[in-house]
Amino acid sequence: MPVDATLVGREHPAPAPLEVTPERVAVFARAVGQPAEPVPATFPIVLAFEAMQAFLDAEQVDLHRIVHGEQRFAYERPLRVGDVLSAVMTVTGVRSLGAADVVATACEIRDAGGDLVCTGRATLVHGAGQ
């Protein structure tokens, strides 16, 4: 994946909405070692990751060549069990960092009513050390 300015602005939706079920939250909360209530703050990565994977598939990039460089979430409201969330990831920038390419992304996560729940900003580092 060469640094390619044409990536910027492309939108990559997660393939399907994610229902925030008690079971899903319980598995996540157990894995990060905290109670399921309130929903762990980093839970939206489940959906953001699916959108990122859609991007990698579209660009034919192997996941194992990607390292997560940065992740920041800003929340409009807490996530709640029962939410049905959708995500669209947009590439906001590409740059070179030594031998690696750095792709900056923004992922908007919205509820079933279309209201913004949270925004995830991430960088994906491709090809470092290779």
Partner 1 sequence: MRAGDVLPEQVFTVTRADLVAYAHASGDHNPIHQDEEVARSVGLPGVIAHGMYTLALVGRAVRDWTDAAEVVELGAKFTAPVVVPADGGVDVVVSGTVKDVTADGLVTLALNATCGGQKVLGMPRAVVRQAVAGA
Residues that bind partner 1 (CB under 8 A): 27-28, 30-34, 37-38, 40-42, 45-46, 49-50, 63-75, 78, 121, 123, 128-130
Residue with tokens 């939206």: 44
- Tokens describing residue 127: 């090809």
Closest CB 6 distance from partner 1, rounded Å:
25
In the complex with partner 1, the residue whose CB is nearer, 60 or 64, is 64
First to last CA, the chain: 13
* Sign of the alpha-carbon torsion through 99, 56, 5, 16: negative
- Amino acid sitting at position 52: M
What minimum distance in Å lies between the beta carbon of 30 and partner 1?
7
Measured from the CB atom, the residue of 3 and 46 that comes closer to partner 1 is: 46
Nearer to partner 1, 17 or 69 (CB): 69
Q: Which is nearer to partner 1, 49 or 55 (CB)?
A: 49
Phi, psi dihedrals of residue 51, rounded to the nearest 5°: -70, -40
